[in-house]
Each structure stands twice: as C-alpha cells, then as structure tokens.
Structure 1
Amino acid sequence: MITLEPVGWVRGGRSDPVDDNWDSEQAVIELAPAFPEGALAGLETFSHAEIIFFFNRVPESKIETGARHPRGNTAWPQVGIFAQRGKNRPNRLGLCTCRIISLAGRSLRVQGLDAIDATPVLDIKPVMREFLPRGPVSQPEWATELMQGYW
C-alpha cells in the first residue's frame, strides 16, 4: 500500500475536464497547510515546473488497464494505457510541464497546466535542462494528430 498526501491543490483555471486548448489556461497551485511558504522558495527562478497530480474525478469504474483507441477515435490504433496519456490510468496520475508565471507566498501561478480546479497536487518539481530527453524524441503519427489542438 502506498499512501500519498497532497502537497497542494489547483485553484482556478478550468472546472470541467475538457481536452484541448490548455496552453492559455492559468491556475494557482496553493500549498497544503502542512507546508511552510519556504517550500516554494526559489521556484520562481525557473521558467517551468513539472506538476504531478491525481485525477480525482475519474471513478474507479472508468479505469483502463489494457488497450484502447486514444480518445475513442477508431481511426487511431488501439494502444495500451501505458502508451498514451489518458486520465483513466490505473493509478490516475497526471504529469504536466507548465510555465511558472509568479510566486506569491504559498501560491504558485502557472500557465498551461492541464489539471482542473480542486485537483490534488502530489508533487512540484522544477524543470532542469539536464533532466529533459537526451537525444531526439519520436512518436507515432496518431499522437501528433491527437496533440494538434491540445496546447
């Protein structure tokens, strides 16, 4: 058993889990009361952060464990849940790299976070060039098509 406690919550931004056009969305990540303001100190010196969050609105009955057509689009191949980034994942974890807009006390304002209002945040990490992929990144054509309107 693994037990995780949120480090914060998404405040603002979208309230409905609608795909696409996330790039202009702004939201605030508000730290949980257990964390002092100093937990975010220095994060504003980075341009981006990786946010790990919990898809808390996905019911267990909707979790996928096998293969499916991404977004139900039968023009795309059936691929395993671990070969796509859908929210109906076994552990319901989301990961997004977003732009840091500002930091004020216990509140981090970000842009392009694809998590909705009241989403529990499990971790916040600064993006460092050295952790980005080393070498070319490749993906199938269906993934490129799927992502055309996402940001």
Structure 2
Amino acid sequence: MGEENYTVQALAHVVGGREKPTDDFWGGTRAVIRIDDPRFTADATKGLEDFSHLEVVFRFHLTDPDDLHLGARRPRDNPAWPEVGTFGHRNMRRLNWLGVSRCRLIEVDGLDLHVEDLDAVDGTPVLDIKPWFAEMGPRGPQHEPSWPTEMLTDYYAPHRDSP
C-alpha cells in the first residue's frame, strides 16, 4: 500500500469552553460548535435537536508536530501501565492529529450547537458532526484492560479552575 493523502476542510470551529487541553476534568465543560456560514444554512441542522448526543470529529490543532509517537509507549508515561502501540491510545500524538468525541447536545440555535463535555478546546477545527445513534454503538460483549479505567477516573469529573 502506498501513501495516500486527502484534503479535508473544517466545517465548523469550537467556540468557548476550555482554552488549553488537559488530561482530566472535562465534565461540565460547555462550548459552542459554530458551523461555517455561508457554506451551510440553518437547514443543515434541521432535526438535530431531537438527539441527545453528537459524535464530533476534530483536528488536534495545538499539537506539536514533533511530538508524534507512532510506536509503543506507556499511557501518560505512567510506569504502572503497560506499553501500548499508537492505536491503543486515544490522544493527540497521532499521524493525522484526529480526535473523536461524544458530547451532549444542549441546544441547537441555527448553526450554533451548544454542547457539554466536548473534549476539544476553543478554536478547534471540526471536520464532521454526526448525531449519536445507539444502534451504532458497540455490539456484543465489550472488554478492555484495567488501565484505561484507572487513567480516565477524572476525565469527565467536574471541571476545576486549576486542574
């Protein structure tokens, strides 16, 4: 397989919420996903208010391009957790700097989507927005090692001013 390149365009940006990315305390963080005008009209969000959650694809735009880790490493550099490869992580140290987040939809106001618990910061380019369909969630039994549960204990804990 050869190298393939794709061009994508941001269709929205995160407005408000957190200014700096941190590892934890995203709970209760509110922001607006502002969809670009004039490419889209309010018709693009029609019916979205009937959904409780969104799935948002975004670009980690604040990531240092030199901070790319494609091999195995310990999550959060914690020696108590095992080394796992780049595809065993969900952080920003990825080849295409893409993030995926599921957040609660609070309100649809034209092209402004008011959300909570979106773990993207102010100014983040949004590449796609999809309503969350429960039927698209995992099927069958689920399992994972214990370290993600330990690592993410405070991820969606209530936001603190000084995390």
* TM-score of the two chains, using structure 1 as the length reference: 0.97
2:83 to 78, 87, 92: 78
Q: Look up the equivalent residue of 2:56 and give its one-letter code.
A: I
Q: Does 1:51 align with 2:56?
A: yes
Deviation at 1:101, TM superposition (A): 0.2
CA RMSD of aligned residues (A): 0.8
- Counterpart position of 1:148: 153
Aligned residue in 1 for 2:160: none
Matches within 5 A, 1:127-142: 127-142=132-147
Per-residue deviation at 1:95?
Answer: 0.4
30-39 vs 79-88, greater mean Cα deviation: 30-39
Kept in 2: contact 1:26–1:110 (CA 8 A) = yes
Structure 2: where are the runs of 5+ without partners? 157-163
> What is the DSSP-based 3-state SS (H/G/I as helix, E as strand, rest coil) of the residue aligned with 1:15?
coil
**Residue 66 (str. 1) matches residue 71 (str. 2):** yes
Unaligned runs of 5+ in 1: none
Structure number with bigger Rg: 2
Separation in structure 2 between the aligned mates of residue 135 and residue 47 of structure 1, nearest angstrom? 23
- Residue aligning to 1:26: 30
Give the distance between the partners of 1:61 and 1:84, measured in 2 at CA.
Answer: 18
3-state SS of 1:52 partner: strand
- TM-fit CA distance, 1:56: 0.6
Deviation at 1:136, TM superposition (A): 2.1
Code of the aligned partner of 1:19:
D
Partner SS state of residue 79, structure 1? coil
Displacement after TM superposition at 1:94 (Å): 0.4
1:132: how far off?
A: 0.8
Distance 2:49 2:143 in 1: 31
Distance 1:136 1:23 in 2: 27
Q: Which amino acid aligns with 2:94?
A: R
Q: Deviations over 1:34-55 (max 9, x none)?
A: 2222111111100100000000
Instruction: Please say if 1:16 is aligned against 2:30.
Output: no
Q: Percent identity?
A: 45
Amino acid at match of 2:117: G
Query: Which one of the candidate residues 103, 106, 110 is aligned to 2:111?
Result: 106
> Any idea what the Cα deviations from partners look like across 1:67-93, whole Å, max 9, x if unmatched?
111111111111001011111111100
The answer to whether structure 1 residue 7 and structure 2 residue 11 are counterparts is yes
Amino acid at match of 2:69: E
